[in-house]
Chains A and B, each alone.
Chain A
Amino acid sequence: MSDPVVYVVDDDPPVRESLRLLIRSVHMEVECFPDAVAFLAGFDPQRTACLVLDIRMPTMSGLELQLELNRRSVRLPIIFLTGHGDVQMAVQAMHAGAWDFVEKPFRDQSLIDSINAALNAACERRANDAEIETIRHHIEALTPREKDVMQRIVDGQPNKVIAAEIGLSERTVEIHRSKVMSKMQVRSLAALVKQILAATQTSN
């Protein structure tokens, strides 16, 4: 997978270019766009990334771009660049799930810290996504009988009760249980419960 990238969208060329230089000076990859439309056409949704976004722009504002990304289910941490008196807009952006705000002109360190934190979050989110993806794959490999047994295990039913309720011998249930554990690649009941919780939570 390629390195994480910092996307910058700002309509003011000098501000945009100075951001490019600053972000490069700390050896991060950066891609700049002059407006929201160019960004939507040019960014790579598969890459681990964060977005440094000017809140005030003509045609499509930073806020509108944020809403559009939400609509497309693109989960990208957004750091808004705000000016004085943009409080109202900042509150809106916060409600729509903004990662952070940096008021112009900013101290370089606060922006860089915010970018680092956002990229970490993006990485984590991505790793998390990958993990959940794996769990889902494992679940799909189970037979219907095994899925049934797994649900009862997670619900906390002992083998004996499961056997009685689905009309199998306790020994057969025990074999199904072993196969569930090996297919899900877990060693303990606690680990299995954790995985199932993670998978079901994000699917909601």
Chain B
Amino acid sequence: MGEGQHKRQNRDQSAAEFEAVVDAAVDGIIVIDSQGLIEVFNRGAEQIFGYTSAEVYGRNVSMLMPPHDSDRHDGYIRNYLDGKQPRIIGIGREVRGLRKNGETFPMDLSVGDASRLGDQRFVGLVRDISERRLTELALADSELRHRTLFNRAPLGIFTADLAGRFLTANDVLAALLGFEEVDWVTRHNCQSLTAPDSRMLQHNAFQSLIESDGNASTNQRLNWLKHDGETIVVDLHLTLVKQDQHDAFFIGHVTDRTSEIRAAVTLQRAQQKLAQSGRVATLGEMASAIAHEINQPLTAISTYAQACQRLLSGNAPDSDTLRDALDAVYRESMRASEVVRRIRGFVRDRESTRFREDINAIIRDSVELAAFEATQSQVEIELELAGSLPQVTVDRVQIQQVCLNLIRNAIDALLLSPASERGILIISGTTANGVEISVADNGSGVDEKHRGTLFEPFLTTKDDGMGLGLSLSQSIVVSHGGTLTYAPRDSGGSIFTFELPAGQAADV
């Protein structure tokens, strides 16, 4: 065997070995010459691109690239050979490849200068990363969805370590605390954003969870401090998530209750103010106001009419004056009838406002409305309300008016008694048909002679009363299918009792 043959044999053998190694590689390996023509195309490359090596040998590597890149590829090689800055050689980057079936895909490509193998050559190592990319995209998508869920939730969310340091926080929590950036929140400890009066409560909540078996949760209403020092009221739902002994953290859900609570307080104050100023008109007062409204036009009518009579009995009645006066009479009679129409409308509107109600709640409301007057008059109101009463179908406002009217009557009746003996007892209970409410006072009671006309309109023993309160109260109760009765109290004083049927009330 000559030396040349030996060399060739060696060379053939090493070429075969090289080929086997190249083919065994999982990645695609492509070798091109300085013209970009393919010299080596291993199995990995065949699998990636879908061509056999026979199909690509001697062809320009740009066939494996999508049009945009393939157009420029020859230029890249030339640039490199001219000693310019390499764009890919020796670096490696993510590019897109073109499969035989026309599909493009993402791949990692690293290119090396293999010129020491002889002529100018380049070796390309190709790894199909389309699957990895898909997974990454899915992950990113899922991450985005979760982040959106996290940030757009209608409540503040955070995670915190066992020491209470914030780990993550969502946008809502940042906004709630008055921070512009979430990053600002995570520089704080949960305790440092808690108002002093709530710190103990919150500390105990954290502690009790830590001492629990884990995966337990707790709810607390707490005062937190905003960035600017303003106090807000929050409901904190705290959960401890314990993966294992060392990996445990808190998840907190925070709901801002500040405006809700402020609204409730404002409402309560308004109600108190209303009750204190005595502006809750009783039926009697309403009737009095209505009477005044009708009395005004009636006064004008009667005065005009009488003036006309006088003018007519005079020497030369001026017909213009008389006509004007009669016009005014007509207008005023319309005004009076408008008042009547409004009252009718008010009554009609109310008919559709009957709902199932808890009578004890209505009583408590009425007592609250009368509380200021009772205190002023040094009258004590005691409640003895039966539990589990059947519901009644009533117009809440009207029945409240009946209660209020009876309570105010009782207060008036007590004014002549010594202050130490002024008491009202309100009792509710069940009857065969429904419920019964009694308002009892220990005042002077109703005179024997007035008892027969107690519920008649326009009969009153009060200086400034219209005599309509009890009469209207009775019509309201009757329209609800009930009764309103009076009984003298053995020990002196009065008992007014009204009964309401349970369930559907009869309309009258």
Contacts and interface: CB of A to CB of B under 8 A. Distances in A.
**Genuine A/B complex:** yes
Interface of A: 12, 14-15, 17-19, 21-22, 24-26, 56, 81, 83-88, 104-108
Given A14-B332, A85-B466, A22 B299 contact: no
Nearest to A17: B328
B9 interface: no
Given A21-B321, A56-B292, A87-B464, A15 B299 contact: yes
B412 to A, nearest CB: 14
Contact of B291 (A15, A21, A22, A84): A84
Nearest to B458: A84
Majority secondary structure, B binding face: helix
A108 B463 contact: no
User: Shortest 3 CB-CB distances between A and B: which pairs?
Assistant: A18-B303, A108-B306, A14-B300
Interface string B274-300: 000000000000001001100111111
B307 interface: yes
Interface in B325-339: 325, 328, 331-332, 335
A19 B288 contact: no
Interface in B291-328: 291-292, 295-304, 306-307, 310-311, 314, 321, 325, 328
B331 A83 contact: no
Nearest to A27: B314
Contacts of A25: 307, 310-311, 314
B463 A21 contact: no
Contacts of A83: 291-292, 295
Contact of B299 (A24, A26, A86, A106): A106
A24 B311 CA distance: 9
A100 to B, nearest CB: 16
A17 B296 CA distance: 12
A15 B303 contact: yes
A21 B307 contact: yes
A83 to B, nearest CB: 5
B465 interface: yes
Contacts of B291: 83-85
Contacts of B298: 104-105
Contacts of A24: 307
Nearest to B328: A14
A23 B252 CA distance: 81
A47 to B, nearest CB: 23
Given A84-B288, A85-B288, A12 B300 contact: yes
A84 B321 CA distance: 31
26 contacts: A12-B300, A14-B331, A17-B300, A17-B328, A18-B299, A18-B307, A21-B307, A25-B310, A26-B310, A83-B295, A84-B288, A84-B291, A84-B295, A85-B464, A87-B463, A87-B464, A104-B296, A104-B298, A104-B299, A105-B295, A105-B298, A105-B303, A106-B299, A106-B303, A108-B307, A108-B310
A83 B465 CA distance: 12
B300 A21 contact: no
Nearest to B298: A105
Nearest to B322: A21
A42 to B, nearest CB: 22
Contacts of A15: 296, 299-300, 303
Contacts of A104: 295-296, 298-299
A81 B298 CA distance: 14
B257 to A, nearest CB: 42
Nearest to A89: B464
A87 B300 CA distance: 21
A21 B295 contact: no
Nearest to B311: A25
Given A17-B328, A21-B325, A105-B298, A84 B303 contact: no
A147 to B, nearest CB: 54
Nearest to B284: A85
A15 B331 CA distance: 12
Contacts of A85: 288, 291-292, 464-466
B297 A14 contact: yes
A21 B297 CA distance: 15
A86 B464 CA distance: 7
Contacts of B295: 83-84, 104-105
A22 B329 CA distance: 13
Given A15-B300, A105-B298, A22 B306 contact: yes
A17 B303 CA distance: 9
Nearest to A24: B307
A104 B321 CA distance: 23
A87 B314 CA distance: 37
Given A18-B299, A21-B304, A83-B291, 11 more contacts: A12-B300, A14-B297, A14-B335, A15-B299, A15-B303, A24-B307, A25-B310, A56-B292, A84-B288, A84-B466, A85-B291
A26 B466 CA distance: 35
A18 B328 CA distance: 8
Contacts of B297: 14
Contacts of A106: 299, 302-303
Interface string B440-463: 000000000000000000000001
A84 B465 CA distance: 9
B299 to A, nearest CB: 4
Contacts of A108: 303, 306-307, 310
Contacts of B314: 25
B338 to A, nearest CB: 13
Given A83-B292, A84-B288, A105 B310 contact: no
Contacts of A17: 300, 328
A174 to B, nearest CB: 63
A52 to B, nearest CB: 11
Nearest to A23: B307
A85 B301 CA distance: 21
Nearest to A104: B299
Nearest to A14: B300
A86 B463 CA distance: 9
Interface in B243-288: 288
Contacts of B306: 22, 107-108
B253 to A, nearest CB: 54
Nearest to A81: B299
A69 B288 CA distance: 29
A12 to B, nearest CB: 5
A102 B331 CA distance: 24
Nearest to A26: B310
Contacts of B465: 85
